[in-house]
């Protein structure tokens, strides 16, 4: 059974940094592309960042490009999202996700992802 468990969320001030982690089990983590999504109250869930299975390719939403960095440590079966220069509009529940099939390149569409974590809350005060 695949499990994805996010951690690292919290309450921070604008301009601060946070690093989210997503611990994966039940799948061959090194073979799967991964993604981060977020959902703010009253909004639909939106794409944040994605990384290919080998970690060589990444892609970001325009709203976070240059501030957020996605990475994966295959030895630790863990996905990360380093978030710098946080803004109040980054406030949301953040979810990690794994693609439904191995050796993918990652992508922005939710339909590509078969496995989801429970989410971790990030709140950025102004």
Dihedral angle of Cα 40, 98, 106, 120, to the nearest 10 degrees? 30
CA distance 11 to 31: 33
pLDDT 10s digits, 65-120: 999 999 999 999 999 999 999 999 999 999 999 999 999 899 999 999 999 999 99
pLDDT 10s digits, 46-61: 999 999 999 999 999 9
pLDDT computed for residue 8 by the predictor: 98
């Amino acid at each position: 059974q695949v499990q994805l468990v996010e951690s690292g969320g919290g309450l921070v001030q604008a301009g601060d940094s946070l690093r989210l982690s997503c611990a994966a089990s039940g799948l061959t983590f090194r073979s799967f592309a991964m993604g981060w999504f977020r959902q703010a109250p009253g909004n639909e869930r939106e794409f944040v960042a994605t990384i290919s299975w080998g970690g060589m390719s990444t892609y970001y939403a325009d709203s976070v490009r240059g501030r957020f960095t996605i990475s994966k440590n295959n030895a630790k079966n863990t996905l990360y999202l380093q978030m710098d220069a946080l803004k109040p509009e980054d406030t949301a529940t953040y979810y990690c996700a794994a693609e439904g099939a191995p050796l993918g390149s990652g992508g922005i569409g939710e339909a590509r992802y078969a496995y989801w974590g429970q989410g971790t809350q990030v709140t950025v005060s102004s």
